[in-house]
Structure 1
Amino acid sequence: MLNDADTLMPNDAFEPVRDRVDVSVGVLVRRADDVYRIAQVLDFESLIGVDVATGRSTALRIGDLRPLTRDRHCEQPSGMDMAEIADEDWRIAQERLAAIKPLLGRMHIGREDVELRGTELGIDPATLYRWLRRYNAYGVATALIPQKRGWKAGNSRIGSETDALIEQVIRDFYLTPQRPTAQKTVLEVLRACQAKGVKAPSASTVRARISQIAEKEQLRGRGYKEQAKNKFFPVPGAFPHADFPLAVMMIDHTPADIILVDDVFRKPIGRPWITLAIDVHSRMVTGYYLSFDPPSETSVAMCVAHSILPKEDWMLLHKVEAEWPVWGVPKTIHVDNGADFRSNNFQQSCLMYGISLEFRPVKQPRYGGHIERMLGTLAREIHALPGTTFSSVKDRDGYDSEKHATMTKSEFEEWLVTLICKVYHRRLHTTIGLTPTRKWEIGIFGNAEIHGVGVPPRPTNSLAILLDFLPYFRRTVQTFGVTIDGLAYYAEALRPWINAQDPETKKKKDLVFRRDPRDISTIWFFDPLLKHYYKIPLADLALPSMSIWEYQQARDKLKQEGIASVDEHQILRAITELRSRVDEAMEKTKTARRQAQRRKEHAKKISPAQPLPASSLPPKPLAPMGMDDLLDGDIQDFGDIA
């Protein structure tokens, strides 16, 4: 559901506040002008709150609640992003997160638990409490960065060549059965950098990179394969550490076994791709992404954002009257070794939210058994639909899939959401002995035998979460604006940053821009001083909305025509020509209809963060002026996580 935090300011600007509503008994929250203390959580939609002013109890919708305050101790470094955090500060943040990780996710943390953890690590309990408070306020690792030492202007990450050399040395030298020490690995990195003539990183940078290697990968790479197998091999029907909801989430892609038709002529256009995520503990589907585009970083970003965010508006979009009470940040995401999961942006985003990213061992399909079985269940249901391709040519023998195809993408997606929420979630799962919905409820609220983990904190800014997982770019701002992939973008929000210099390096300042590849007619610029995102359109407003794939297709066409220097007007002409050809061929060819349908889907600009247009939602009550003034003075919001 779109919150007041999601409603864009004039000039399409918004503040990426990443705080969450803690839905726990005793916590103070606000609804509009009133402050309540949570007395009892009834279910995933409602709770009982006590008005702190009147003492009266009342039923409250969880979706209407907002955090009361932001802890002044949680003040974040203003105006920077993940790319500008010093390596040493990032290492410290990861160490602090590791220190408090055993204490996270508990409904009640006793003084004895904190003191015991402090004794184990040699850390004062008051310090652990402070780190817990800072992390719980936002749920992101950057909350633990040292305030005085870190996030200074001018700090920057190592260059791409150096970064690649570190990765190569770790892969080819450190992760070998010879088991060289970290010190020898540092020396090998220095030697490789000297040989290549690139700037060498500090020893702490290399050690920090080694410390980020997953234990399973370390054991396997350094010759302890049997030990790794014994520790991480999942026994039948179980998965390591998936002991509660959102402990482990699995994601995978698959082409759906069905031919869909376009919206205009209702003729075949091909099979869509499904990116699906499930909670291993309960087998609940946490989120999905359906598209005619092949799997990519965007598919992963949309699926993860859909998993983390509440889904009330998503159900309204698809006109499905059912509950899908799943939201929250998972502890671990388990994926295969695809390039889309191994992108630096996705890995950084997971680190930002404290998500452990684990990769399925190569040629070990049993490690992905849970998601594979779910996709198999989905495939069997799809095989009953008109236009199915079945699972093989043999099964399809005598059946003309294209001839029987009748469903559009929208109709299929409505069917998919209905299947997930009304059938799969409510059907007995033989492995766990319960329905996924009931298993999820018990894991959250508990029963006579199990102590539930409580309702996950509810995100308050959906667009910020989506942008955190989308691809980003670093660019300087010129007099004409900023250029990405040969396209110029400009808006008044960029004017103060034209030819801006870094005060320490005296070089032009790199700034962070994020982009949804499905529509590159606009990008999001993060202003490091105002700590807001601004939507920046193409400088040439005559250019149409287009996806990155459509733009690349137009560039390729111009190259084939022998045009060495490509400008935006030529791009416009090429896209217009390509679209004309598609429109002419739509009724004749499946490829053209599929391309036209892709363009139509991109133009809808539907995402898990904004499934419904703002105009279709009722206005939200505004917070009292006094409360807003107090909150703004208490804390500065941290910036983009790039």
Structure 2
Amino acid sequence: MNQRKVERLMPFIVALEREPFKRSHLRVRHLIERVSETTGIHADISSSTLMRLHEAFLEDPLGRAHNSPKRGPYTSELQIDLFVEIVDDLYLCKKPLSGAALYVEFRKLLKQLHPDEKAISRSTFYEWLNQLAVFKVLNAQQGFKQARAEFRTSKSRMSDVGFLERAEIDAVHISTWILVDGAPSIVDFILYMMIEVKTRMIMGYHLQSGKGETAPGYRECILNGIGQKSNPDIWPTCGVPSILVGDAAQAFLSRSLKKLTTTAGITHQTTPAAKPYHKPFIERFFGTLRKQFCLRCAGYLGTLANPSGISRAKPPKGLLTLDEFESQLFSYITSIYHKNLHSGLGCSPEEEWKRQVALIGEISEPRNLEKLKTLRCEEHQRVVKQGSVVVENIYYFCQELHDLLLKEGRHRNKNEVTVLMDEEDLATVTLVYLSRQGEVQFEAQATNPVVRGMSMKRWKSLTKYEQIHGPEPDQPSTSQTKKKKRKQRRPAVNTEELNRHKGVLKRPITKSASPDGPSVSDLIDEFMKEDK
């Protein structure tokens, strides 16, 4: 952002800040004419340019094209402000100075303002200078067209990486009409996709019901991408990419996902927030997916920004079931996208994949794939009681572990085990126990039949629903069946003991208290009122 241009157009930016409809081009054009007449400033700018300047000013009021430099232990706030002023005046302009000349000017001004303060080193100054946003620097020095051209060139350089060097992963939200048990209903999906940049092949995907992105969803997509598919002739992708790029979603930044990528030998790389162009290939594929697949599915409702026009009140005809939807998605990826001509490759993604495989040799899935699948389980530390453990109010029983504890004579001790739980299927868990012979693993089954094939997210929502509304009729409850304790009757009040209470009662109680009569607190309140 050019600071001088912002200062000249500041009346327009202030007027736009007070305008209630800031995204209306007609309102903004009228605003420019009105402010020009009142102030006498002739501003030859369009409405979109003023909107862009207004947004940039709100994000960065001081006109900085970068975040503030990191302040070291011996760096004063004065030097940071002085650096920003010099960069705005002498570097973000049409004829910028070099880095060495900027550093000379920086030291000269600092010596004039504070002669006793020691300036930062040349390397620190250059490090701050390299933190500037490249696009904004080129925009200020050479113009918007040159900056855009440089960005597109960098995008093409991104695609020049080697085979299986870079892969991108992201999730897209899909809302559509689906037949559930024969009845139409609106279902929200999250589709996780993983694409290989060199060949544009889809390495793997995972379809999850619900609205929020989760770490297990990313984990299943990665495992599906690096492993060999059930039909390698139809879908030949497998192998471990060197770098996996994802956005700054909380699910992608989870510790369990980073542990999975580290164990697989993948570099976990995160793009800045609200910067989708740092992973352009997966974003471009999502646009192709919506145009070629989603819009052709009966009942697709589109997104909030780009609705498809289908009514949410009345379902259309020809709806699909969940299995049919996933089957058609699989057919689209393998039969249409992988085999059609790609404009960026000059051939189909499948042909490019086979050509790369022929150059480097056969590719196989990682050897430690089974170990990686166990890493998708969340670890919980629990105490075994009679061969049972409880996780998230779900009881799991293992007869083999119970017999082992009886054999070792530890059945009365507090034996801790590590519970490995797959949050996509709560029916079974793996119990890791350290016995006298070493570490052994057992499989425990859930005693509640409700959790079979259920995910953790679904289980928590179901238990929360039952806490508020109660269990649905003719449906098994999520709570475990326990023997209800009989409610004990309230014992009769001992009046003699009340009389001996220190200073509470001054005369004996003449009224007997039965179990069905008033409580002790009521009697005490009654006699305290009489004493007053």
Q: TM-score scaled by structure 1?
A: 0.46
- Tell me the secondary structure at the aligned position of residue 172 of structure 2: strand
Q: In 1, are the aligned partners of 2:240 and 2:366 still within 8 Å (CA)?
A: no
Say which of 298, 301, 304 aligns to 1:389.
301
Q: In structure 1, what is the equivalent of residue 201 of structure 2?
A: 284
Say which of 297, 321, 345 aligns to 1:432.
345
Q: Residues 178 and 299 of structure 1: is their aligned pair in 2 closer, same or farther, counting only changes over 3 Å?
A: same
The one-letter code of the counterpart of 1:389 is L
Q: In structure 1, what is the equivalent of residue 182 of structure 2?
A: 265
Say which of 228, 243, 250 aligns to 2:168.
250
Say which of 426, 449, 464 aligns to 1:556.
464
Q: In structure 1, what is the equivalent of residue 487 of structure 2?
A: none
Measure, in 2, the Cα distance between the counterparts of 1:415 and 1:551: 28
Is the aligned partner of 1:408 residue 2:321?
Answer: yes
The one-letter code of the counterpart of 1:424 is Y
RMSD of aligned Cα (Å)? 4.1
Equivalences, count: 338
**Residues 214-613 of structure 1: pairs in structure 2 closer than 5 A:** 224-226=130-132, 235-238=153-156, 240=158, 243-256=161-174, 258-262=176-180, 264-294=181-211, 295-312=213-230, 323-381=234-292, 382-391=294-303, 396-397=308-309, 402-404=315-317, 406-446=319-359, 452=360, 454-459=361-366, 463-495=370-402, 511-527=417-433, 533-538=441-446, 540=447, 544-545=451-452, 546-557=454-465, 559-560=467-468, 571-572=479-480
Measure, in 1, the Cα distance between the counterparts of 2:208 and 2:126: 36
Q: Residues 417 and 562 of structure 1: is their aligned pair in 2 closer, same or farther, counting only changes over 3 Å?
A: closer
Q: CA deviation at 1:349?
A: 1.4
Q: Deviations over 1:595-633 (max 9, x none)?
A: xxxxxxxxxxxxxxxxxxxxxxxxxxxxxxxxxxxxxxx
Measure, in 2, the Cα distance between the counterparts of 1:569 and 1:257: 29
Q: Quote the sequence identity (%).
A: 19
Q: CA deviation at 1:376?
A: 0.7
Q: CA deviation at 1:239?
A: 5.6
Q: In 2, are the aligned partners of 1:260 and 1:405 still within 8 Å (CA)?
A: no
Measure, in 2, the Cα distance between the counterparts of 1:495 and 1:391: 52
Q: Residues 515 and 234 of structure 1: is their aligned pair in 2 closer, same or farther, counting only changes over 3 Å?
A: farther
- Tell me the secondary structure at the aligned position of residue 310 of structure 1: coil
Measure, in 1, the Cα distance between the counterparts of 2:159 and 2:305: 39
- Tell me the secondary structure at the aligned position of residue 272 of structure 1: strand
Q: What runs of 5+ residues in structure 2 fail to find an aligned partner? A: 1-67, 75-124, 138-149, 483-532
Q: In 2, are the aligned partners of 1:275 and 1:288 still within 8 Å (CA)?
A: yes
Q: What runs of 5+ residues in structure 1 fail to find an aligned partner? A: 1-174, 182-218, 316-321, 447-451, 502-506, 575-642
Give the number of the structure whose alpha-carbon radius of gyration is greater. Answer: 2
Measure, in 2, the Cα distance between the counterparts of 1:308 and 1:354: 11
Q: In 1, are the aligned partners of 2:387 and 2:398 still within 8 Å (CA)?
A: no
Q: In 2, are the aligned partners of 1:233 and 1:240 still within 8 Å (CA)?
A: no
Measure, in 2, the Cα distance between the counterparts of 1:240 and 1:508: 56
Q: Deviations over 1:502-539 (max 9, x none)?
A: xxxxx97764322222331211234566666532112x
Measure, in 1, the Cα distance between the counterparts of 2:271 and 2:384: 41
Q: In 2, are the aligned partners of 1:544 and 1:572 still within 8 Å (CA)?
A: no
Q: Residues 444 and 266 of structure 1: is their aligned pair in 2 closer, same or farther, counting only changes over 3 Å?
A: same
Q: Residues 532 and 269 of structure 1: is their aligned pair in 2 closer, same or farther, counting only changes over 3 Å?
A: farther
Q: Deviations over 1:278-305 (max 9, x none)?
A: 0111110000011213321221111111
